[in-house]
A and B are shown apart, each in its own frame.
Chain A
Amino acid sequence: MAPVTTKQPGHSPVRLSEEQQLLRDAVRVLADERIAPRAADIDRTATWPEDVRRLLADHDVFAIPFEERHGGLGADLLTLCLAIEQISRQCATSGLILAVQALGAIPIQVAGTPEQQDRWLPGLASGEKLIAFGLTEADAGSDPSGIRTRAVRDGDEYVIDGTKRFISHGSVADYVIVFAATNPDAERSSRRLSAILVETDRPGFKVTRVEHKMGIRGSPTAELAFDGVRVPVGNRLGDEGQGFAIAMQTFERSRPGIAAQAVGIAQGALEVAAAYAKERRQFGKPIAELQMIQAMLADMDAATEAARHLLYTACEEIESGDADAARWAAICKLVAGDAAMRVTTDAVQVLGGYGYIDDYPVERMMRDAKITQLYEGTQQIQRLIVARSLLAGS
């Protein structure tokens, strides 16, 4: 297979600082040299890549979104997204390892006490511990009011009963942030839930199912059963009833990570398609000289570039505390997810029959891209958020 181009994206109205460029380039090297050779196998065997997890830990990649006092790099949201993008360019499963770790840590970062942060964040920053975000249930996807998992106060403990579904990293995590109803009869449904960190070695916790998925097949997506799991009250993040707000706050910072994954997948697919078009000859010339191919590639490039710049801008706005952070998070995830699906589908098209077989990575990239339109809020939910923000002013 012909070598891919080595275009370096990042020439954007958002000027990357020297530090951001250095970190991005370092992650890119790791992705190109150590992760890329593993990507096809991770997908084919649908196996959690512990070696990639070790690689990210050993090179301080997990440390990116954590503060220095917790052993992190103290880098900003854009830097985290740059890293997720570079990894996802080669392997969406691997990019997700960083994204999910960052996601799971956010509730601790925004709602945890200093003591809680000191207790849990260093292990996450070093990559020694993994964390999962336990919100979704079988009957509660887009609509969190369907959450049935209960956390009942008993002395200085909570007793947790219920089942979570579709939890990324649920079967490999050391900690799960469980969103459980502590006030099931609260007047406002947004006050029902609390966020509680559950260590997965507690009795009563069980992984009851791991899904077989269309894409990101190396990432374990699990069903988690909580049967009388007892945790200290000190494991609750924020106040009782603050769970829903914490989840919404979390998404503001985590959705760009998914957008970054999507942009990375799109970029990877674009590069494969462009390289292929230059080598593949039909009708006496490289297909890259055919206008319909050029049009497709151009549209793919434009879509990826646009998604990228929107993502970078969103990161800056969210990081600077913009009042409409929710809208920025939703809009960048919406655009990037749709771009990834479109670009990867077109990449398969450019490769024709060869795009359909696993000799080339684009069929995997297309399968991987789909999830970016589904998780951390479906595209439909993102649209509701964008519309609400747009129409609120009037």
Chain B
Amino acid sequence: MRIVVLTKPVPDPAAGAERLGPDHRLDRAASPTVINGNDEYALEAALQLVEAHGGEVVVLTMAPANGTETIRKALAMGAQRGILVTDEALAGADLPTTIRVLAAAVAAEPFDLVLGGLDTSDGAGGAVTAGVAARLGLPLLSAAGAIEPDPAAGRVRVHRLSARGYDLVEAPMPAVISCTQALGAPRYPSLKGIMAARSREIAIRSLADLGPDLAPAGGAWATAVLVADLPPARAAGRVVSGPAPDTAREIADFLVARRII
């Protein structure tokens, strides 16, 4: 199976240091970058599928030039090769451009499946994977909690998570799948994986390599962030302690006062 995994380097949410720069865009230098959480689940799922069915995992990222760092991490986890699409003209790219660029890069590769995270911790539009599917004219199976390909039959089944549980969804391959945490915890890279990753290939592609008319000229994006503020501060709350019947009463009184009960 040949699987392309879309990964995005994002500020490490655990470091809590993300912030917006003066242009209201994410200041990507401000905090350490990691692979977006949901993309890691996608990557782990891809690695397991290739371990079971044979084949290759290719990691594809659109990022500034330092995007090779997170690709190396993915290679250390076991992906066979990586592709970084990087171009100054893509700084601050909007969603339609991101989708066009990623789709063009994916289309240049042989694949059975394209996996992406359901959304990202730094943008959380949750639309990129679906947009790539639409651009490629491929079926989208979203919110995957389990992925079951049948390479012989050329079809793939997915557990699409729902409020009730899941829908069992199927499409012919090639197909695009957006991935959730329910796929299972990503592995830590083994030390041998880390060493092997240093010699694995990362191809660098610019906009020109991918084709014409993928990005609007002069950074004329479809959306603009006008203002960035700090969130309104929450008023400090009350702290109570003591024996349980007393504190329980405090809670009940509080709920009455706030007209919740």
Q: Measuring CB to CB, which residues of chain A are less than 8 angstroms from any residue of chain B?
A: 19, 22-23, 26-27, 29-30, 33-34, 58-61, 63-64, 73
> In the bound complex, how far is the Cα of B195 from the Cα of A22, in angstroms?
8
Known: A23-B191, A59-B189, A73-B192. 15 other contacts (CB 8 A): A19-B195, A19-B198, A22-B194, A22-B195, A26-B189, A26-B194, A27-B191, A30-B188, A33-B188, A58-B190, A59-B191, A60-B190, A60-B192, A60-B193, A63-B192
Contacts of B198 in A (CB 8 A): 19, 22
Within 8 A of A (CB), among B171-226: 188-195, 198
Contacts of B189 in A (CB 8 A): 26, 59
Contact between chains at A63 and B188 (CB < 8 Å): no
- Note all chain A residues with C-beta closer than 8 A to B188: 26, 29-30, 33-34, 59
When chains A and B are docked, how far (Å) is the Cα of A63 from the Cα of B195? Answer: 12
Determine chain A's interface SS by DSSP, over half rule. helix
Chain A residue numbers with a CB within 8 Å of B193 are: 60
Q: Which A residues are in CB contact (< 8 Å) with B192?
A: 60, 63, 73
Among A26, A29, A30, A34, max chain B CB count under 10 A is at A26
B70-85 interface mask toward A, CB cutoff 8 Å, 1 = contact, 0 = none? Answer: 0000001000000000
Least distance between A383 CB and chain B CB atoms (Å): 36
Residues of A within 8 A of B195 (CB): 19, 22-23, 73
Residue pairs across A and B with Cβ atoms less than 8 A apart, 23 shown, are: A19-B195, A19-B198, A22-B195, A22-B198, A23-B195, A26-B188, A26-B189, A26-B194, A29-B188, A30-B188, A33-B188, A34-B188, A58-B190, A59-B189, A59-B190, A60-B190, A60-B191, A60-B192, A60-B193, A63-B191, A64-B191, A73-B192, A73-B195
Q: Which of B188, B191, B195, B198 has the most CB of A within 10 A?
A: B191
Chain A residues, CB < 8 A from B76: 26
- Across-interface contacts of B194 in A (CB, < 8 A): 22-23, 26
Assembly CA distance A34 to B195 (angstroms) = 21
Across the interface, which residues of B come within 8 angstroms of A61, CB to CB?
191
B residues in contact with A59, CB < 8 Å: 188-191
With the chains together, A30 CA to B189 CA distance in Å?
10
Distance of A58 Cα from B191 Cα, bound (Å): 9
Bound-complex Cα distance A60 to B195 (A): 11
Give Cα A58 to B188, complex, Å. 10
Bound CA–CA A193/B192 (angstroms): 38
With both chains docked as a complex, state the minimum distance between the C-beta of B98 and any C-beta of chain A, in angstroms.
Answer: 29
Q: Which residues of B contact A26 (CB under 8 A)?
A: 76, 188-189, 191, 194
- Chain B nearest CB: distance from A22 CB in Å? 5
Residue ID in chain A nearest B32 by CB atoms: A6
- Residues in B with CB closer than 8 Å to A60 are 190-193
| Bound Cα distance A30, B188 (Å) | 8
CB B72 to nearest CB in A, in angstroms, measures 9
Per the bound structure, the CA–CA distance linking A73 and B190 in Å amounts to 11
- Residues in A whose Cβ lies below 8 Å from that of B191: 23, 26-27, 59-61, 63-64, 73
Q: Roughly how many angstroms separate A276 CA and B199 CA in the complex, as a whole number?
A: 43
The residue of chain B having its C-beta at the shortest distance from the C-beta of A62 within the complex is: B191
Q: How far is the CA of A34 from the CA of B188 in the complex (A)?
A: 10
> Smallest CB–CB gap between B35 and chain A, Å?
13
CA distance A307 to B224 in the complex (A): 53
Cα(A27)–Cα(B190), bound, Å: 9
Q: How far is the CB of B74 from chain A (nearest CB, A)?
A: 14
Identity of the chain B residue whose Cβ is nearest the Cβ of A57 in the assembled complex: B190
* Closest Cβ–Cβ distance, residue A2 to chain B (whole Å): 14
Of B76, B188, B193, B198, the most chain A CB neighbours within 10 A belong to B188
Query: In whole angstroms, what is the CA distance A64 to B190 when docked?
Result: 11
**What CA separation (Å) do A33 and B194 show in the bound complex?**
18
